[in-house]
Amino acid sequence: MEHILLIGHGSPRKEANNIDLIANVLHNTIHPECDSGCVKIAYLQFAEPDITAAIKECIAGGASRIIVHPFFLSPGMHVTKDIPAILSEARATYPGVEFVYTEPLGTHDKLVQIVIDRINAVKFDAPEDIEKRSFEIIGDEVDLADLPPEQIPIVKRVIHATADFEFRRTLVFSPDAVETGVAAIRKGANILTDVEMVRTGINKRLLDKWGGKVVCNITDEEVAGTSSKSGRTRAEIAMEKGLSGTAGNVGIVAIGNAPTALLKVIELLAKEFPQGPTPLVIGVPVGFVKALESKMLLSAQKFPFITNLSRKGGTPVAVAIVNALLRMAEEK
């Protein structure tokens, strides 16, 4: 069995001893399905574990081959003499174990890009500068040219909120989705959400300009009482209340958490929305039970929708879609 051992210098400053973060990312990258802890760390001085203890731990874990990487920038005395001396003793102590010693980080060309990134980072101290640069990076890393122009700001904002480029291919829009959502905002229509987290994340400053408000009934006492008596979820009852004849003025329904809420909305809107024009339904619940099924059902409806055909989704996605529409309404 092969183990990898990252060796850092170590520091009296405790928070500086953090190469375990690098080790975790390395392990997840090269051994994504491994749970044996085959990437370990050690420090030359000032911190634990030391190199000898880490080697012993690797061998106790079944390692017959240990790749040792000095996480140092240059081949100084520590890299060329101190660590090799410790490894020489380890080879004598464990003759049946193969030790492979790599070069340090050195002058690899990718380090130049890291320096460039660090230099560029100081240019983006203001939140709007950070967001602008983030969207530029997204544009550089994924080709959105074949998407309808009105969908691109939404896809970008979802990727920005999740750092997940998979949404580029899994987000699905009805033909009139974006137009319906922007028009609803500009008319001062309300936004109905399934949970408080979605309600909280929506940009109220942009929405207030048009006169709309965000409505969430999940914590309503009447909803809670009906749920306890009927055995149905609060989420679906909250949707019923939000779309009832007395609720009024709902232009967008944003569901980021509860599949039961989305299924209830589909049921209600597939019949006839009592307030006239059907609202845009943003249905992106996350999870393993009924989440994908509810989104697939939404994608087959005739009323306006935006959804994501995968298990992924959640509050950040729902909020990102709504906030993208709010910005588009302002720009238009």
Active site residues: 160
Phi, psi of 31, deg, nearest 5: -130, 65
Rounded Cα–Cα distance for residues 200 and 161 (Å)? 15
Rounded Cα–Cα distance for residues 6 and 73 (Å)? 13
- Any idea which residue has 């989704």 for tokens? 313
| 111 contacts 105 by C-beta, under 8 angstroms | yes
- Any idea which residue has 């974006």 for tokens? 178
Residue 160: name the closest of 182, 181, 132 by CA: 132
- Check whether the bond before 70 is cis (ω within 30° of 0): no
Q: How many CB atoms lie within 10 A of CB 118?
A: 9
Rounded Cα–Cα distance for residues 67 and 75 (Å)? 17
Rounded Cα–Cα distance for residues 189 and 180 (Å)? 11
Amino acid identity of residue 137, one-letter, is I
Rounded Cα–Cα distance for residues 241 and 243 (Å)? 5
Q: Per the structure block, which two tokens stand in for 310? A: 């995968």
- Any idea which residue has 């697939």 for tokens? 296
SS3 255: strand
